[in-house]
Chains A and B, each alone.
Chain A
């Protein structure tokens, strides 16, 4: 059934607003050669054409052809130009919110077509039609609420932090060690995730490096970005940008969270139409910098079991950090093994792009994680290291469902643990 006239007009007006030059290229030049077919882990695992990257974009292309091109208006059937119907929106929902945004398809496409860029339009349309992912909407709204009522949350957060701080003091053997919050003129603002596991190891590393740092009141993850709602995504990220400006920090450091890397490095400035007065870095780059400057020293090769590294798509292919984590792991591990393929060609874990947060995709992500499982098995590694919360959650699930018998670690944990060994030994 076609959506009603009013909705249709609204959606078309929106689509028109979303058109930019890159998008036009992508919509106009795809040859439907399907070379991207085997680039997508979801297609490879399911053999369902819906998950073929070009097919996902094709759904948007059909609308575009029908409403925005001359030939498409005259002979829509030539391009299977389509009016916006509820069925089309449902199909669009299925292919769009399942996409992990890994952009492996872009890597292999002969024209470098960025399917996710086309799907960001799909998300806009879905949201406007009232069909955005409900769970992602809920999570995004919750983050925005938190931003509005920060004083309320701050009390609870500081209470919890007291506890983390005690653990820090105990671990580093320094009763004066702190986890500073809202400290002005710090060198860096560290943006963690909710939960101690991303705060404590970082605090240990910062303490050992004698860094002048402060912890952000907000978490790095951005469900508005996953949802595809630019306004919400911007609001969520802005909480942190404002905080960084207020505290006059020199650098904002993003924790091991893939999409947050991309949001802060590549999207926010464009959304907000402003330039940052600070630098944005990855915690991986910071740790690597400390090592190079000799501010911290790792306990060399303390891990004897075989270790492998999973490149999170948003940190490798889509952000450009490849060497730093490998350098770090090689220092602490006696047996580091690469996955095949790796780096920019690495397979997606299967749960990025907000997939891990959508319970109705649980079975799907287990199924489509099979390529990752195969890769991990091939290395024979007992420890899988990956600097992205999303990837780690997915690999934990895969570990359980496929009986991989592995342990999963962040880079920060490896480093923090290594820093503590000398103390524990003495």
Chain B
């Protein structure tokens, strides 16, 4: 590993993980250390039982059906974006361990093909959704509502996704090399193997990791905390 890769794809990764985790814990602590008002802020009709309440919470947080009714376009892209994000997250787990059940069914070639199609399409979906998010911010009234944070986050996301796509569509490195890199991170000896070191994909990987690091570092201090806050706030809805 050259020194720059070592800094970005090594040291900085640990830093990002550290900041992300402590930042999120700090954020949760910040929330919980302030007392709740005992005014019940829920809206009616409210679910009657505890189970119904939890089901409603899940529905409101994961598919927010009310939003579908008044802003179909935004709802559509938001759902697309978030589910693609989830899919991509699951896909990345393959870099820790091969999904053996898929491997058994599809075989080596089949898995690669499957990964190319699913990962590739998710990457495109993310790009399209981000482009929509972005273009929306340039129109009134969204423009007047937006603050620099919104653009910053979108740009970061766009860069992460673009670099990911670049590896997926233009890269020449196979998944085993990335997996070796991820494993090296786990044992605190970050390294690229020879195949990766000489490949051009190294640069997209380092860039991908760099922007992802920035994103994770900023995450706990941004509106992205809605990733957990949505559950708390949607629960208040039926209080």
A-to-B contact residues, CB < 8 Å:
19-26, 28-35, 37-39, 43, 47, 49, 52, 54-55, 58, 69-71, 77-80, 103, 106-114, 117, 266-267, 269-270, 316-320, 322, 344-345
Q: Is B135 an interface residue (CB 8 A)?
A: no
Q: When chains A and B are docked, how far (Å) is the Cα of A109 from the Cα of B222? A: 19
User: Of residues 124 to 173 in B, which have CB atoms within 8 Å of A's CB atoms?
Assistant: 140-142, 144-150, 152
Residues of B within 8 A of A69 (CB): 221
Q: Are A21 and B31 in contact (CB under 8 A)?
A: yes
* Contact present for B75 and A24 (CB under 8 Å): no
Chain A nearest CB from B142 CB (Å) reads 5
CA distance A43 to B140 in the complex (A): 13
Q: Are B44 and A316 in contact (CB under 8 A)?
A: yes
Structural contact, A20 and B37, CB atoms closer than 8 A: yes
Measured in the bound complex, the distance between the Cα atoms of B232 and A322 in whole Å is 27
- 18 A-B pairs in the complex with CB atoms less than 8 angstroms apart: A24-B30, A28-B27, A31-B226, A32-B142, A32-B146, A32-B223, A33-B78, A35-B70, A35-B75, A38-B71, A47-B141, A69-B221, A77-B148, A108-B69, A110-B60, A112-B237, A269-B38, A344-B44
| A-B interface, 9 closest residue pairs, ranked by CB to CB distance from nearest | A320-B44, A29-B229, A110-B64, A29-B226, A112-B237, A49-B141, A20-B37, A49-B144, A71-B221
Provide the bound-state CA to CA distance between A270 and B36, in Å.
11
Q: How far is the CA of A217 from the CA of B39 in the complex (A)?
A: 27
Question: Given the complex, which residues of B lie within 8 Å of A345, measured CB to CB?
Answer: 69
Complex CA gap A413/B149 in Å reads 54
B17 contacts the other chain (CB 8 A): no
Chain B, range 13-71, C-beta contacts under 8 Å to A: 27, 30-32, 34-41, 43-46, 60, 64, 66-67, 69-71
B67 is contacted by which of A26, A70, A108 (Cβ under 8 Å)? A108
Q: Are A29 and B44 in contact (CB under 8 A)?
A: no
Which B residues form the contact surface with A (CB < 8 A)?
27, 30-32, 34-41, 43-46, 60, 64, 66-67, 69-71, 74-75, 78, 140-142, 144-150, 152, 221-223, 225-226, 229-230, 232-234, 236-237
Residues of chain B within 8 A (CB-CB) of A35 are 67, 70-71, 74-75
Q: Which residue of A lies closest to B60 (CB)?
A: A112
Residues on B with beta carbons closer than 8 Å to the beta carbon of A80: 147-148
Question: Within the complex, what minimum Cβ distance (angstroms) separates B150 from chain A?
Answer: 6
Given contacts A20-B36, A55-B145, A107-B43, contact A112 B234 (CB under 8 A): yes
**Per a CB cutoff under 8 Å, which of B31, B45, B150 touches A25?**
B31
Whether B229 and A111, one on each chain, are in contact in the complex, defined by CB atoms closer than 8 angstroms, is: yes
Contacts of A58 in B (CB 8 A): 145, 147
Given contacts A25-B31, A29-B229, A79-B147, contact A34 B141 (CB under 8 A): yes
Contact count A vs B, C-beta below 8 Å: 148
Nearest Cβ on chain A to B198's Cβ, whole angstroms: 40
Kindly list 12 other residue pairs between chains A and B, CB separation below 8 angstroms, not including A32-B145, A111-B226, A114-B236. Answer: A24-B31, A29-B225, A29-B233, A32-B146, A32-B223, A34-B74, A35-B70, A110-B78, A317-B43, A318-B44, A319-B44, A344-B43
Complex CA gap A3/B152 in Å reads 31
From the candidates B64, B70, B140, name the one contacting A38 in the complex (CB within 8 A). Answer: B70
B142 and A34 form a contact (CB under 8 A): yes
B37 cross-chain contacts in A, Cβ below 8 A: 20-23, 270
A30 and B223 contact, CB distance less than 8 A? yes
B110 to chain A, nearest CB (A): 38
* A345 CA / B44 CA spacing, docked (Å): 10
The CA of A345 and the CA of B32, in the complex, are separated in Å by: 32
Q: Which residues of chain A are within 8 angstroms of B149 by Cβ–Cβ distance? A: 78-79
Structural contact, B44 and A28, CB atoms closer than 8 A: no
State the Cβ distance, B74 to closest chain A Cβ, in Å. Answer: 6
